[in-house]
Amino acid sequence: MGRSLAAALCDRGAIVQGYGRMSEDEGRDPRAVWTNATFADLSALARALEGQEVVFHLLGSSTPESSNRDPGEDLTASVFTTVKLLDLCRSASVRKIVFASSGGTVYGVPTIIPTPESAPTDPISAYGINKLAVEKYMALYRHLYGLDYQVLRIANPYGPGQSPFKKQGVVASIMHSALSGHAVEIWGTGEVTRDFIHVDDVASAFLHALDYAGEQRVMNVGSGVGRTVNQIVEDVRDALGLPQIEIVRKSARAADVPVSVLDTTLITRETGWRPRIAWQAGLARTAAWMRGTFGLA
């Protein structure tokens, strides 16, 4: 998401200071200044924040599954460090912070599908709990210090620039495995259902959040359409023009929510944002990027 957001901001004429662990071969926009450092490096983070008006917070390295293996470590890496980021934003006189929360995990096993922002939040992973905690800290810092913020609860992003090696991003993982001639791993029956949104549409949502001055602080960002993992495999096979994709099935994971599809009525009503990139076109763009980036047939 960061790659697409940086490009969208540069296209808009913004002076962009990127931050995080991203190498040039991952598609960094040359128009953006980049600080290659970890989230925990507070000195580097403070320097990167100097002179910035708006901060887009997308930093994070865990997944729902990995967060449950060591909830304490994930709490420190995500929530504690974000609180430090908020303090640094105050010191740097940042006007607004836009946070990439997780529409796929904060609601837990949803009682309403598509799921609106008003639905209960009962995460079944430490990852989701920590995303919610960050949302609450942002509300606290607005109350205490006037630091403006916007939370976007994002569905499952996919598209060019998404690494297939980080154990998060099922489209990238399936596509890379298929192009490499490797079997695709599916956890459980493959009927887990997710809402997929192209990274360029996510970047557009961030720009809408930047301009938004209304009262709604939390908004869903998704396509509103659910697709099973089994369907994703077939759609990727079609996009790549392959006769078949080998599948290896593994045991279901406790952190996987069975169904996650987001209701995006609120953000559309408040900002006018809506997804523009059709699913098949998004897969075709992703396939072209992956073939070119990794030299795959």
Strands (E) located in the chain? 17-19, 33-35, 54-57, 96-102, 148-154, 156-158, 184-187, 193-198, 218-221, 226-228, 247-250
Strands 184-187 and 247-250: parallel
Q: How is the chain split among helix, strand and coil, in percent rounded to 5?
A: 40, 20, 40
CA angle at 91 for the pair 54 and 36, rounded to the nearest 5°: 60
Task: In whole angstroms, give the CA distance from residue 92 to residue 89.
Answer: 5
Q: Of 127, 141, 149, 158, which residue is the catalytic one?
A: 127
The DSSP symbol for 218 reads E
Exposure string (b/e) for 30-68, b if CB count within 10 Å is 16 or more?
Answer: eebebeebebeeeeebbebbeebebbbbbbbebbbbbbb
To the query of whether residue 145 is one of the catalytic residues in this protein, the response is no
Helix (H, G, I), strand (E, B) or coil at 104: coil
Task: Please list the active-site residues.
Answer: 127
